Amino acid sequence: MTTAGQVWDLLRAQVAPRGMVEVPLGEACGRTLRTPVRAAEDMPAFDRSAVDGFAIPGGEGSSSFLVAGELRAGDPEQAAIAHGCAYHIVTGAAVPKGAEVVMLEDAKEEDDRVSFLRRGKDNIRRRGEDARAGDVMVPAGAGLTEGCVALLASIGCTHPCVTRTITACHIATGNEIVDPSIQPRPGQIRDANSALVQAWAQSRRISLSQQRLGEDEAALRDSLRADCDVLLISGGASVGRHDFTGAALREAGFEILVTKIDARPGKPLIVGRRGDQWAFGLPGNPLSHFVCLHVFVAAGIAAMEGAAEAPTLLSGKISTPIAGNPRETWWPAREELPGLCPLRWKSSGDLTSLAAANALIRVPVSGLAAGGVAEFIRTA
């Protein structure tokens, strides 16, 4: 049996990052940057006023100035201001060489003259004070947040180089599953895994195709020919006689690297590889699915994305104790900073905790005491 850490090591070592593509900034949020973005020029690129007010010759001792004009944002940079003169200036406007800026709130305007109640505050954002031309602004491997997108726009990077869209194919197997819109007959259950995988892929911008196959071995074999980055096969990963995922994967040319993990739920996880293509055989119980997607498949996807780190193991204090178990447990929990609240969870088929879960606590074999610090993964 393979531990969670061994599965991550395996994926980190063997999964190759996918190709790169330039995308317009409007499609970049949520994607992984692949080449570092540097500042092309100093930031700010010129001395800018940080306030609305007046620009006057720097350090000039007069008590009153002639208002000679205005400096607007977007106007080209002006020469030095003449002795005794002041210009209206707005936030963001270029500050003339050697000028001082006084806030509007500190000014008293009368007819065409202005005097000041207070002076000497630095109301100028100097060229290069935030960053210098050539500085790395966003490193390769970064996940592009909204803030990153704004930063890229501000430095003129309108087509960042990111990982191409990852493609996945999901195959739900099992005779007992029916479409969620259908009232199950006795012995049947609704297919929750397809909806889960669909939502999971959507939020990661994975391009997904899905099939529901029952236990048709021929159809499964056919589906395993799919040309995609990741194959996800739901159900059929346990030891029973109807469990044919592993055999079918082997037959389809996959090398099986993991057949069982030393963790629950999700123990009968299968991980296979065929060249650059990866397959995950996910145990049919929806909670096992949820755990395997977040703990293992996500790590594989992150490696394909060329992302800086995955999974992100956080640490937090748990509010109630969790008993030990012969296997490491990934326990559904609600992160409510500063702590983590373990949720009621009866079995790996029990989905009710997923209404509130936004985290999975990694519970060691020895269990966790109340107030103890635990590792966890964020799931929402």
Beta bridge partners of 361: 331, 376
**Residue 3, both tokens:** 């531990």
Binding mask 257-276 for a second copy (x = CB under 8 A): --------------------
* Pick 146 or 227: Cβ nearer a second copy: 146
> Which amino acid, 97?
K
* Pick 10 or 282: Cβ nearer a second copy: 282
Distances (CA, A) of 310 to 80, 147, 211, 361: 54, 21, 28, 16
Using CB under 8 A as the binding rule, whether residue 379 contacts a second copy is answered as yes
Q: Which of 18, 125, 264, 273 binds a second copy (CB under 8 A)?
A: 125
Using CB under 8 A as the binding rule, whether residue 193 contacts a second copy is answered as yes
Segment 286-325, which members bind a second copy (CB under 8 A)?
A: 286, 289-290, 314-317
Closest CB 64 distance from a second copy, rounded Å: 20
* Pick 58 or 339: Cβ nearer a second copy: 339
Using CB under 8 A as the binding rule, whether residue 352 contacts a second copy is answered as yes
Using CB under 8 A as the binding rule, whether residue 366 contacts a second copy is answered as no
Segment 217-246, which members bind a second copy (CB under 8 A)?
A: 238-243
Q: Which stretch binds a second copy (CB under 8 A): 28-36, 219-227, 273-281, 362-370?
A: 28-36
Measured in residues, the chain has a length of 380
Phi/psi for 25 (5° steps) reads -55, -35
Whose tokens are 């609704």? That residue is 190
Closest CB 11 distance from a second copy, rounded Å: 21
Q: Which of 20, 21, 85, 131 binds a second copy (CB under 8 A)?
A: 131
**Do residues 258 and 7 lie in contact, with contact meaning Cβ atoms separated by under 8 Å?**
yes
Q: Which of 1, 82, 199, 370 binds a second copy (CB under 8 A)?
A: 199
Using CB under 8 A as the binding rule, whether residue 326 contacts a second copy is answered as no
- How many CA atoms, within 13 angstroms, populate the side-chain half-sphere of residue 264? 11
Binding mask 153-172 for a second copy (x = CB under 8 A): xxxxxx--------------
**Residue 268, both tokens:** 């009968």
Closest CB 176 distance from a second copy, rounded Å: 3
Using CB under 8 A as the binding rule, whether residue 73 contacts a second copy is answered as yes
Segment 83-112, which members bind a second copy (CB under 8 A)?
A: 88, 90-94, 104-105
Cis peptide leading into residue 286 (ω within 30°): no
Q: Is 222 left (phi over 0), alpha (psi -120 to 50) or beta?
A: alpha
Residues 243-252: b if buried by 16+ CB within 10 A, e if exposed: bbbbebbeeb
Q: Which of 218, 275, 346, 366 binds a second copy (CB under 8 A)?
A: 346
Q: Is 87 helix (H, G, I), strand (E, B) or coil?
A: strand
Phi/psi for 293 (5° steps) reads -60, -50
- How many CA atoms, within 13 angstroms, populate the side-chain half-sphere of residue 85? 14
